[in-house]
């Protein structure tokens, strides 16, 4: 059975901290596809000012274009109300019944999994692949893992083969790799302060941000 990964998030904007670990995960697990799904109305960002979905989607499309196995989906676009990950993942797995589905998320997000909407349901829909974020890993992360997930934890080393999971069991893979020290909030802060981000995002994304005046950049339009 082919392995397919889903990577959901706000991607405001997408940056190398998203892409570099995902390339490593794709090679380690042998994913046939990695599908990025930008959040349309993320529940944890209610009241926050986000770049419009069209811009976040376009930047993802530009950032993933060089990678043959990376795709962007508009699965959440236009869905009314907060777009919960559990509903998105359920719909994705319904559309891909012949695939083994893996859900990618950072260790910072995984450390807060108990705050996610219907998280007990979510963790039974797909295998989780937890990417190393510098803010929380190792013993600090293990302390925050819900008790019911601890027996599922499976350490994985970058680029080492990952055996097929036991039939009918969803695992939580902890992918050990060098964390990429960048976040979307850091990028927005740097832009607002007039600092460069050229080393933190793909060049196509940088050009898009400048062209459309996102995050307080000066647009060259009318």
Enter the pTM of the model: 0.94
- HSE (CB half, 13 Å, CA atoms) of 104? 30
Instruction: Match 């959901």 to its residue by tokens.
Output: 8
Q: What is the pLDDT of residue 217?
A: 55
Q: What is the pLDDT of residue 81?
A: 86
pLDDT < 50: residue spans in the chain? 219-222
Residue 142 structure tokens: 């293990």
Write down all domains in the chain, each with its CATH number in brackets. 3-180 (3.40.50.620)
Q: What is the pLDDT of residue 221?
A: 47
Cα 14 to Cα 80: distance, rounded to the nearest angstrom: 24
| Cα 128 to Cα 15, 65, 76, 104, 154, distances in angstroms | 21, 25, 20, 6, 10
């Amino acid at each position: 059975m082919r392995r397919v990964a889903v990577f959901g998030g706000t991607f405001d904007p997408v940056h190398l901290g998203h892409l570099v670990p995902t390339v490593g995960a794709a090679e380690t697990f042998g994913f046939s596809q990695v599908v990025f799904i930008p959040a349309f109305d993320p529940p944890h960002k209610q009241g926050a000012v986000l770049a419009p979905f069209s811009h976040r989607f376009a930047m993802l499309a530009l950032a993933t274009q060089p990678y043959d196995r990376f795709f962007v989906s508009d699965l959440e676009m236009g869905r009314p109300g907060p777009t919960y990950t559990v509903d998105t993942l359920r719909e994705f797995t319904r559309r891909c019944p012949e695939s083994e589905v893996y859900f990618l998320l950072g260790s910072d997000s995984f450390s807060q999994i108990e705050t996610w909407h219907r998280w007990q349901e979510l963790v039974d829909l797909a295998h989780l692949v937890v990417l190393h974020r510098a803010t929380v890993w190792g013993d600090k992360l293990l302390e925050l893992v819900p008790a019911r997930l601890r027996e599922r934890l499976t350490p994985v080393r970058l680029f080492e083969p990952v055996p097929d999971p036991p039939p009918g069991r969803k695992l939580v893979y902890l992918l050990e790799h060098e964390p990429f020290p960048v976040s979307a909030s850091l990028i927005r802060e740097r832009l607002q302060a007039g600092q460069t981000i050229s080393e933190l995002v793909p060049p196509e994304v940088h050009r898009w941000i400048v062209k459309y005046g996102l995050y307080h950049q000066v647009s060259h339009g009318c």
